[in-house]
Structure 1
């Protein structure tokens, strides 16, 4: 895995009162979200084994549309998994440079669970709002794949089954991640002025190359997103 970068002192987050909410997630809304397919997976899915995933994407409402993202073991050893993306939806919401995403999530407890909120467009443009693996119970992963930066953050509030508040500023010159209201990493690299990308929320299942696969006795797992909004600051602040 890529070694985390050191980064620089983290600045204070932007004042939310100077930003307009431009997206409020309604996971049941088919106009907002496409379920069970994404161009981030070969051929749009349903599987992605080269990324060490046991995923078999499904579009059933019970796997994602309530905001609870579920995975269920299949007889063939793969897992039916929930994924939602704004790509190819009616609205096709795009995050822009300068946007601020805020989300409240409940982390999964089961070994092998791999939840994430991230971005994607045209084979890249990926910024990970967060990734989590319960085998590293107190650690969140924050990554800017656009310009190559990463930080592993250990925090006492992070543990299997815990609720955490996440905030990511997709700055042109620096991406800034906050956890439970505390800025924890500013990469001083940013995404550039013209960056834009679709939003993905999903629960993957590890195949065992980098993190342990699920215990044989585990047949279901889940993580929950109770709220997700995107704020867009005034142009001069972006």
Structure 2
């Protein structure tokens, strides 16, 4: 994007091959997760906030410049001021089917981080997942689809630093044509990116799942202590 810095890093041919294979396996698991995370317990309501709208990509000239990625540190909390979200972050892995295991339904205020992937603030897309609702009430990412480009997302890390991200892209991706690379792959090589993901679309009573996923992309624009 215009105005964003590039952060080149040296890789050998073997390193590139290993990275490509690792991404292929990761995207396979994440594609499965993109299909399965939308499953919910028995319920009768149908809409999910932001089910048919997405802001899409912003004009890069109107957004702040990216800053260089920082070292690895585990995320502890996520703050989204525009949504009034302040939530703990816990590491999650893959389930028996190879899909990313989201936070349990009895923890609707918790955000899951895919712990085998990049850490927020480090190079690459860090994946944070949360439920849109439960059987009885909204969950942590209920209003995620109402974000617009330019919104701020802060992640408090275990090293005491706060990684500040700026939203530049919001999508609602249907399950019927789910594009794992578009959803989970890096949007700009060399950047530190953040991917916030929840259920979207309408609730299908037959399959007992939502029909889409809301995917918000943000990139690192500041670091504070």
Q: TM-score, normalised by structure 2?
A: 0.29
| Greater fraction helix | 2
| Greater fraction strand | 1
Q: TM-score, normalised by structure 1?
A: 0.28
